[in-house]
Amino acid sequence: MKDDKGRVHRERGLYGLFLRIWGAFRRTELFKSIYMSDYPYNRRTQVLAVMNNLFLHLHPNRVTRYSINYRYTLGLGGLSFGMFLILAITGVFLMFYYVPSVPDAYFSVRALGTDVFMGQFFRNLHRWTAHVMVLLVFLHMLRVFYTGGYKGTRKFNWVIGVVLFVLTLLLSFTGYLLPFDQLAYWAITVGVRMGGSSPIIGDQVRILLLGSHDIGQATIVRWYTLHVLFLPAIGFWLMLLHFWRVRKDGFSATRPILVEDHPVLGPVKEEARG
Amino acid sequence: MTTKEATQEVKTVRRPDPLERVNTWPHFLIIEFIGLMIFTGLLIILSIVLRAPLLELAQPEYTINPAKAPWYFLNLQELLLHMHPTLAGVLLPTVALILIAAIPYIDKDEAGTGVWFTSRKGWAITKFSFIYTTVWVVGLVLFSEFIGTRQALSLLGLPPAVVDVLGGIVVPIVVMSVIPGLLVSIVRRRWQADTRHVIIALFTMFVASYVVLTIIGTGFRGDSMRLVWPWQLEHPK
């Protein structure tokens, strides 16, 4: 393995063997055809690795130490996206078994706990991750607010963020009905009653939400479609836009305009001046 | 070397320049990766020990008591107990979301960007606003539960239709305007708050009421949504 100055290090044992195999693979035509640049082992290739990767490309190539300090961002936005990924993966697993109809929806969810290998585990993971995501998105909003991250060029990204917060709630809420047990049924009854009390168009809103006058087959199909297709698709594209704007608008912490010492976490002034 | 000496040793090391630019790979990606691994690990453990709830098959003819919305909507459901449903369930959340989305177009001063709470003053205002809001919200919920706006109004001998409009719409709107207004004037007078600091006070008011109402709705509302202590709560059947 070469370091920054081109010196070669020889490792011994199993790790050395792994490095030799990995090194050989890196020289193959296959590896070079997959990655546009070499494995990121020095400053130049590290920049190229981010630049030449569709997914990492949403990040800037280089960031200031201050803006990636976990005490500043707390990692909440990235973690929210991480929760979205876990939900997408566990969600696909649940879709294999879920039947969106009355009353089969309930029995298919119950069967996850009795007939499906790891079924209960994936359902638990999906549900708890969903709760955690709602919490993280909310906390992310608080973080951006209290650090004044919405100012200047970042104005519109805050608005996108508010829309994403609403989408997160809607995703969670549409998923809440799907097990079609007593808890789901009555929670959705309460929720829809709220939406149904809209002035003037209340009844129309109710019908739009339920697909009928009561929660039933039509409601499940509607909410299932929204939950697994429409809302995640919209959310995914808005997330990409959100991350891309973070990069284009510049991190709020790159040029901190300093007021006083950090009120909670210590003296930022001296730190940020460097 | 003792621990104390070791700590002093560490302190003398010069901290890296926070404005130095470093490569995203690996400095940033490693933080994201570790954070995600920690959360995934904790969630896996949680999912092994805790089962997601599944009650009986939905039965439209048997209402569960209390029927509660998901926890993040319990703040709205809590408001439904105290005012007209259109006001609590539709108008208030819509107005709140629009105002939150409009924050960047109201508070445009870029001073303090990238600093937690902007300043010491901002942190003091945040704490004050949180406590101020919590006291008001808890006080109003207790008032509504044990006395009630409608009951208080009907003591004046007004006709029921007037009581409904006053108690369900007029009084709540007045209360929800006067309390933030009072907060703004306190913050302006005590801390000479500028726009950013006033917005901090008001946003904190939103956060505090969201959090406090959610806690009340989740932990303190039992049978028929009456106030109970959390240990008196029963699982809905």
> Given an 8 Å threshold on Cβ–Cβ distance, is A46 in contact with B25?
yes
For residues A260 and A220, state if they share a domain.
yes
Residue B117 contacts A, CB cutoff 8 Å: yes
Residue A173 contacts B, CB cutoff 8 Å: yes
Out of A103, A194, A199, name the one closest to residue B76 (CB).
Answer: A194
Report the CATH number at residue A255.
Answer: 1.20.810.10
Residue A63 domain flag: no
Whole-angstrom CA distances from A218 to A100, A223, A225 are 10, 9, 11
Q: How far is A5 from chain B (nearest CA, A)?
A: 17
For residues A46 and A166, state if they share a domain.
no
Distance between CA atoms of residues B205 and B137, nearest Å: 10
Query: What's the whole-number average pLDDT of chain A?
Result: 85
Q: What is residue A236's predicted lDDT score, i.e. its pLDDT? A: 94
Q: Cα–Cα–Cα angle for A8, A11, A13, nearest 5°?
A: 160
A163 CB-near residues (< 8 Å, 6+ apart): A238, B101
Burial of A47: CB neighbours in 10 Å, binned 0-12, 13-18, 19+: middle
Q: Cα–Cα–Cα angle for B74, A172, A141, nearest 5°?
A: 75
Nearest residue in B to A259, CA atom: B112
The share of chain B scoring above pLDDT 90, in percent, equals 50
Q: How many helices (H) and strands (E) does chain B have?
A: 10, 1
Q: Note whether B74 and B160 are within 8 A (CB).
A: no
Provide the terminal-to-terminal Cα distance of chain A, rounded to the nearest Å.
33
Q: What is residue A274's predicted lDDT score, i.e. its pLDDT? A: 33
Tens digits of per-residue pLDDT, A155-177?
A: 999 999 999 999 999 999 999 99
For residues A37 and A76, state if they share a domain.
no
For residues A33 and A84, state if they share a domain.
no
Out of A62, A138, A263, name the one closest to residue B122 (CB).
Answer: A263
Residue A4 domain flag: no
For residues A113 and A206, state if they share a domain.
yes
Residue B30 contacts A, CB cutoff 8 Å: no
Three-state DSSP class for residue A262: strand
Residue A5 domain flag: no
> Given an 8 Å threshold on Cβ–Cβ distance, is B60 in contact with A215?
yes
- DSSP for B85-111 reads HHIIIIIHHHHHHHHHHHHHHH----T
The ipTM value here is: 0.89
**How crowded is residue A28: how many other Cβ atoms within 10 Å of its Cβ?**
10
**Can the peptide bond before residue B66 be classed as cis, meaning omega within 30 degrees of 0?**
yes
**Strand runs (DSSP E) across chain A, as ranges?**
62-64
* pLDDT (average), residues A145-149: 91
For residues A79 and A178, state if they share a domain.
yes
Q: Note whether A257 and B111 are within 8 A (CB).
A: yes
Tens digits of per-residue pLDDT, A188-212?
A: 988 888 888 888 888 888 888 888 8
Q: What is residue B224's predicted lDDT score, i.e. its pLDDT? A: 80
For residues A77 and A44, state if they share a domain.
no
Q: Note whether B89 and A195 are within 8 A (CB).
A: yes
What's the pTM? Answer: 0.87
Do strands A62-64 and B21-23 pair parallel, antiparallel, or not at all (unpaired)? antiparallel
Q: How far is CA B122 from the centre of its chain?
A: 18
Three-state DSSP class for residue A83: helix
Tens digits of per-residue pLDDT, A77-106?
A: 999 999 999 999 999 999 999 999 999 999
Distance between CA atoms of residues B145 and B152, nearest Å: 12
Residue A205 domain flag: yes
A7 CB-near residues (< 8 Å, 6+ apart): none
For residues A91 and A44, state if they share a domain.
no
Contacts of B19 in chain A (CB under 8 A): 64-66, 254, 272-274
CB pairs under 8 A between A and B: 280
Q: pLDDT per position in chain B (237 positions), as tens?
A: 555 555 555 555 556 676 778 888 888 888 889 999 999 999 999 999 999 999 899 988 888 888 888 999 999 999 988 988 889 888 999 999 999 999 999 998 887 788 888 888 999 999 999 999 999 999 999 999 888 888 888 888 888 888 888 888 899 999 999 999 999 999 999 999 999 999 999 999 999 999 999 999 999 998 888 888 988 887 665
Q: What is residue A269's predicted lDDT score, i.e. its pLDDT? A: 43
> Given an 8 Å threshold on Cβ–Cβ distance, is A162 in contact with B101?
yes
Distance between CA atoms of residues B203 and B191, nearest Å: 17
Residue A230 contacts B, CB cutoff 8 Å: no
Contacts of A110 in chain B (CB under 8 A): 54
* pLDDT (average), residues A15-27: 86
In this predicted structure, the answer to whether residue A4 has a pLDDT above a threshold of 50 is yes
Distance between CA atoms of residues B68 and B81, nearest Å: 12
For residues A163 and A32, state if they share a domain.
no
**Can the peptide bond before residue B26 be classed as cis, meaning omega within 30 degrees of 0?**
yes
Domain membership of residue A113 as a residue range? 68-269
Residue A253 domain flag: yes
Q: How far is B209 from chain A (nearest CA, A)?
A: 14
Q: Note whether B106 and B189 are within 8 A (CB).
A: no
Q: Is the dihedral of CA A182, A188, A194, A196 positive or negative?
A: negative
Residue B157 contacts A, CB cutoff 8 Å: no
For residues A253 and A168, state if they share a domain.
yes
Number of domains in chain A: 2
Enumerate the domain spans of chain B. Answer: 23-52, 71-232
Residue A154 domain flag: yes
Distance between CA atoms of residues A134 and B84, nearest Å: 27
For residues A146 and A17, state if they share a domain.
no
Distance between CA atoms of residues A67 and B138, nearest Å: 38
Residues 5-64 of A with CB under 8 A from B: 40, 43, 46-47, 49-50, 56, 59-64
Q: How far is B162 from chain A (nearest CA, A)?
A: 19
Tens digits of per-residue pLDDT, A206-248?
A: 888 888 888 999 999 999 999 999 999 999 999 999 998 988 8
Residue A227 domain flag: yes
Q: Cα–Cα–Cα angle for A58, A62, A67, nearest 5°?
A: 90
**How crowded is residue A170: how many other Cβ atoms within 10 Å of its Cβ?**
17
Residue A123 contacts B, CB cutoff 8 Å: yes
For residues A239 and A265, state if they share a domain.
yes
Tokens found for residue B164:
């409904």
Three-state DSSP class for residue A211: coil
Q: How far is B183 from chain A (nearest CA, A)?
A: 18
Q: Note whether B73 and A168 are within 8 A (CB).
A: no
Residue A274 domain flag: no
